[in-house]
Amino acid sequence: MIHPAATLLLALGLIATAPVRAAHPSLALSACELEDPLGVLSVAAECGTLPVPENPADPRGRWIRVRLARIPAINRRKRSDPLFVLAGGPGMAAMLFYPSVAPPFARIHRDRDIILLDQRGTGDSNPLDCALEDDELNRGAVADVVAEASACLSGLKPKADVRFYTTSVAVGDLDTVRTRLGYERINLYGVSYGTRVAQQYARRFPQQVRTMILDGVVPPQLALGPQVAINAQHALMRILARCAAEVRCHSRFEDPLATYRELRATLRTHSIPVTLADPTSGERTRIDFGEYQLATVLRLSTYTAEQAALLPLMLDRARHSGDLQPLAAQFMLESRSVSHAIAYGMHNSVVCSEDVPFYPASMARSQIEDTYPGTLQVDALRSICAIWPRGPVDSDLHAPLHTDVPVLLLSGSDDPITPPADAERARGGFAHSVHVLLRGFGHGQLTAPCIDQVMARFLAAGKVEGLDVACTKADVPMPFFTSLGAPAP
pLDDT in tens, the chain (489 residues): 443 333 433 222 222 223 333 334 458 899 999 998 777 888 999 999 999 999 999 999 999 999 999 999 999 999 999 999 999 999 999 999 999 999 999 999 999 999 999 999 999 999 999 876 544 545 567 888 888 899 999 999 999 999 999 999 999 999 999 999 999 999 999 999 999 999 999 999 999 999 999 999 999 999 988 899 999 999 999 999 999 999 999 999 999 999 999 999 999 999 999 999 998 889 999 999 999 999 999 999 999 999 999 999 999 999 999 999 999 999 998 888 777 789 999 999 999 999 999 998 777 788 899 999 998 888 999 999 999 999 999 999 999 999 999 999 999 999 999 999 999 999 999 999 999 999 999 999 998 999 999 999 999 999 999 999 999 999 999 999 998 776 766
Kindly report the length of the chain. Answer: 489
Peptide bond into 90 cis (omega under 30): yes
Peptide bond between residue 373 and the one before it cis (omega within 30 degrees of 0): no
**Alpha-carbon distances, residue 264 vs 278, 349, 382 (angstroms):** 24, 33, 26
Q: pTM of the full predicted structure? A: 0.91
- The answer to whether residues 285 and 278 touch, using CB atoms and an 8 Å cutoff, is yes
- Residue 84's nearest CA partner among 119, 40, 125 is 119
CB neighbourhood size of 23 (10 A): 7
Cβ 82 vs Cβ 115: under 8 Å: yes
**CA Rg value for the chain:** 22
| Measured distance CA(256)–CA(92) in Å, rounded | 33
Q: 162 to each of 86, 92, 171, 207, 391, how far by Cα in Å?
A: 21, 16, 16, 30, 8
Q: H or E stretch including 470? A: none
Q: Are 59 and 87 in contact (CB under 8 A)?
A: no
